[in-house]
Amino acid sequence: MADNTQELYNRYIELMRKITDIKKAADVLQWDQETYLPRKSSDIRGQQIATLTETAHHFFSSEQLGNILTELAGKNDLTENQKKNCELTLEDYLKNKKYSSQFVRKLSEQINKTFHAWIKAREMNSFSVFENELNVLITLKKQESELLGYEAHPYNAHLNEYEKGCTVHFLDNVFEPLLPFLNSLLGKIKSQAPVDNAFLQQYFPKQKQWEWGMYLIQQLGFDFDSGRQDISEHPFTTSFSPTDVRLTTRIDENDFANMTWSCIHEAGHGLYEQGLPVDQYGLPLGEYCSLGIHESQSRLWENNVGRSEAFWQNYFPKLQEFFPEQFKTTSSEIFYKGINKIEPGLIRTEADEITYHFHVYIRYELEKDLFEGNLKTTDIPAYWNEMYLKYLGIKVPDDNHGCLQDIHWSHGSFGYFPTYSLGSLYAAQFYTYINKMIPGLEEDMEKGSVLKILQWLKQYIYPYGRKYTSDELCIRITGESLNASFFKDHLLRKFGNMYTL
Amino acid sequence: MADNTQELYNRYIELMRKITDIKKAADVLQWDQETYLPRKSSDIRGQQIATLTETAHHFFSSEQLGNILTELAGKNDLTENQKKNCELTLEDYLKNKKYSSQFVRKLSEQINKTFHAWIKAREMNSFSVFENELNVLITLKKQESELLGYEAHPYNAHLNEYEKGCTVHFLDNVFEPLLPFLNSLLGKIKSQAPVDNAFLQQYFPKQKQWEWGMYLIQQLGFDFDSGRQDISEHPFTTSFSPTDVRLTTRIDENDFANMTWSCIHEAGHGLYEQGLPVDQYGLPLGEYCSLGIHESQSRLWENNVGRSEAFWQNYFPKLQEFFPEQFKTTSSEIFYKGINKIEPGLIRTEADEITYHFHVYIRYELEKDLFEGNLKTTDIPAYWNEMYLKYLGIKVPDDNHGCLQDIHWSHGSFGYFPTYSLGSLYAAQFYTYINKMIPGLEEDMEKGSVLKILQWLKQYIYPYGRKYTSDELCIRITGESLNASFFKDHLLRKFGNMYTL
């Protein structure tokens, strides 16, 4: 590489790292807000985050960066990875230029207001407390659709933000054949003898659950020298660099399942973030591929690993050591069947592997209608409750167990939920290949080792960052694009063994 | 005020708030680094803080701000407070312009490295682990003296940073008459029967101490909806706005005194920060007056209140409820005398009201010599140990109990320590007037109310921010400049009652 190109590329790196430092600082302030911030400081914190967001935007839309990127685009002596970084950054840059500083600040401030309205609404168990701020935010998000531009559907602009190339057309094609399959499977299972999972609703002291969760996360390979876990209202994972990945969880003393699988889920995200190449900090190749792939990582650990018979073969006795009283009379068979109980419920994050996707689908349909203008924010609770009755056959008792349960809208994340379902599908497809490529994996897991899975992910997924799109990555690993049949096969095999289907 | 001036002043506020948001974000990252940061992330965190510091500097030395300030300087229709804000900002601006962006970044990065070297050196109890990074930092700080400019002594440039107008000449004039007085008092007390404070060195469980510390802080009036407390290696207070003030403490399970008075001390800082006018956020009138005044707040609560007989009249029975076993056989007289035991010791933060100032003086002399070039960093431990023998008559057993004990140098804070002594002197002077102005204060305290003190501070000190210099503030309140005789009188009265002097 000629000196001039090298120099130019280094200037590009330097600029990108500074912009990333500022973005990551905003993420630290956001994390702090959701874990430790004193109550009265929400307004000023909102302004502080808005200033950082606006400042990062300011530098990221500077002419200086634009000129460097244009110049780099004309260079032939960049390595393949360098070229990819420059290409992706140019793409991001051009998109970023579509936003004015004022709009960025306005959006950031409104997100803060909406987040605090959500917290308050949760406290009061009343959507109407949230509705006004949410409405203002949705208006801004609709303006964002127009700024970004889209084909066919304004919602596509947002879907594309989380999963490049994702559209209403693509998702309809995923959900339409999937839902009848899930519905039929659900029907067959419901016709069988009910499963007992009452042992999950005992009293599990907070501190003991915390220790158990920390133990589990550490067992999965999460590096506590490069990350930590804290408590928040809604579990999430955020990363300030691969050496500083923060998980959060929440603890329900009367429900063992709540924290355990949220810990595994967030650890799946966290392992991915810790595995991203640290030398690419600030550059696209240091970022995650897409949210669908991110979710494939959390869902893979949560379900394919964390709800598998082989995993609990080893960890159930450990669990009994943590909670000897609570699991005294529970056999490992009862435990395994109980933690996989299929039962329509109110809360997405607590849903089983089958009904989960109805939760996602309902939010998807609702958001689609919001962006089409067919649904007003005031009508969300009624719409929500109707859909839950229609798809899951259950009555929603109040807003906290209904349309207030997720944090996402309060963060301005519309178009995010579908990636949860995509994640499950990718996870099943990847996990099939992991099993093919690691002979004796189940036996290893029964003996307590899940580290081969982490090693595999470290080899085939983590190191690439955003180098490949999710589709390209999927083809590289499995030889084909996303294919729901892997997920269907997984369910048929798993629940076929558990029930007479 | 003409529309044009109002508009201009609003633009000034807007700019200053953005710059402050970025500085405060750096403070959040710094706080996080000292409380929760995963071990492996120190390098990247250092870069992130450096970027924020550099970015704040970039905006704060922009021509845009300079032009606004120059224009505002010519306006006659500003209010007195507005005028003061503009004047002080212009002063800060001109000082800031003396630094290049590169120097700001270099200094910030070096501070990070030095901080981590200090942490490591503390772990290994070895100054030599710290020495190299400290040396680089001191070289930068000497360059900073030259950048800032000074009269008479390069150390003056740094003294002035913490206490406007403070010089070696001024401090020599404070210390020279003070030390013989303290020495003579110390001699008289040492000739008396030794005081028993063995009850302080029992086993006090961590969690219980934590609860006690939190209780005390809350009793002093600290608002936990506008602040919090966490654990760190070295106790400190930082503020991200008056609605978000963070205290930290540390707990020694075998030493009751360590945490208790550090909690009171930091709460004193915290109350001041919570009391600054929030509507002046980002402007000089929203900032603290000087570090000497800041320390007067912490020392006032720690010593004048927190080591007084009246205070413990009420709180000793409460303490006995927290630790019934440990204080079963301790009388309130023994307790009061024990917590005020005068005894030369190794650790500044644990020192009594008399010997404390020798700790400060030693650091002051040492720093003066460093900046004069008469002392090399490699020679610090030998110098330190010699001075402790000379002034306090004690042998320093190792670096952790010697020159590694304070965090300040690792933060690049040279010239900071003298403000601790100034703080004690101001505290005594203010407290004399508080007692004059609040009749029956002692009786109130004996009955458990310290809130009148807070009310007084909220009236006479907190609301003014940087409006007055420490000298002006002192004159406004007490009718004269700093006068050490108040402090001497306080000691003579207090220890005269306790001993036969």
Give me the DSSP letters along B444-457.
HHHTT--HHHHHHH
Going by the DSSP 8-state scheme, the letter that residue B469 receives in this structure is -
Could you say which of 3.40.630, 1.10.1660, 3.90.15, 1.20.58 is the CATH number of the domain covering B3-152? Answer: 1.20.58
- With beta carbons less than 8 A apart as the criterion, state whether A340 and A356 touch: no
Q: Which residues contact B455 (CB under 8 A, 6 or more apart)?
A: none
> A54 to chain B: nearest residue by CA?
B18
Hunting for tokens 């290949």 — which residue is that? A433
Q: Which residues contact A324 (CB under 8 A, 6 or more apart)?
A: none
Alpha-carbon distance B246 to B256, whole Å?
22
Annotated active-site positions of B, please?
A: 266
Pick B52's closest partner by Cβ from A25, A39, A40: A25
pLDDT tens, A140-192? Answer: 999 999 999 999 999 999 999 999 999 999 999 999 999 999 999 999 999 99
Q: From the CA of A306, how many Å to the nearest CA of chain B? A: 26
Q: Give the pLDDT of residue A137.
A: 98
Read off the pLDDT band of A233 (50, 70, 90).
confident
- With beta carbons less than 8 A apart as the criterion, state whether B290 and B420 touch: no
Q: B224 to chain A: which residues are within 8 Å by CB? A: 38
Decide if B226 and A17 are in contact by the 8 Å CB cutoff: no
Closest CA to A242 of A229, A230, A225: A225
Classify domain A3-154 at the CATH topology level: Methane Monooxygenase Hydroxylase; Chain G, domain 1 (1.20.58)
Read off the pLDDT band of A110 (50, 70, 90).
very high
Q: From the CA of B107, how many Å to the nearest CA of chain A? A: 16
Alpha-carbon distance A23 to A53, whole Å?
6
Q: What are phi and psi of A45, to 5 degrees?
A: -60, -40
Best A43, A44, A102, A104 member to test B by mutation, with max B CBs in 10 Å, is A44
Q: B227 to chain A: which residues are within 8 Å by CB? A: 38
Domain A168-498 has CATH 1.10.10.10: no
Read off the pLDDT band of A449 (50, 70, 90).
confident
> Is A368 in a helix, a strand, or coil?
helix
Alpha-carbon distance B413 to B163, whole Å?
13
pTM of the model: 0.93
Q: What is the pLDDT along chain B (501 residues), one digit of tens a residue?
A: 556 999 999 999 999 999 999 999 999 999 999 999 999 999 999 999 999 999 999 999 999 999 999 999 999 999 999 999 999 999 999 999 999 989 998 999 999 999 999 999 999 999 999 999 999 999 999 999 999 999 999 999 999 999 999 999 999 999 999 999 999 999 999 999 999 999 999 999 999 999 999 999 999 999 999 999 999 988 999 999 999 999 999 999 999 998 999 999 999 999 999 999 999 999 999 999 999 999 999 999 999 999 999 999 999 999 999 999 999 999 999 999 999 999 999 999 889 999 999 999 999 999 999 999 999 999 999 999 999 999 999 999 999 999 999 999 999 999 999 999 999 999 999 999 999 999 999 999 999 889 999 999 999 999 999 999 999 999 999 999 999 999 999 999 999 999 887
pLDDT tens, A354-368? Answer: 999 999 999 999 999
Q: From the CA of B56, how many Å to the nearest CA of chain A? A: 10
Its CATH architecture, for the domain B168-378+413-498, is: Orthogonal Bundle (1.10)
SS3 content of chain B, % helix, strand, coil (to 5): 70, 5, 30
A226 touches chain B (CB under 8 A): yes
Residues in a beta bridge with B237: B247
Helices of type H across B36-127: 42-60, 63-73, 80-96, 101-124
The full set of domain ranges for chain A reads 3-154, 168-498
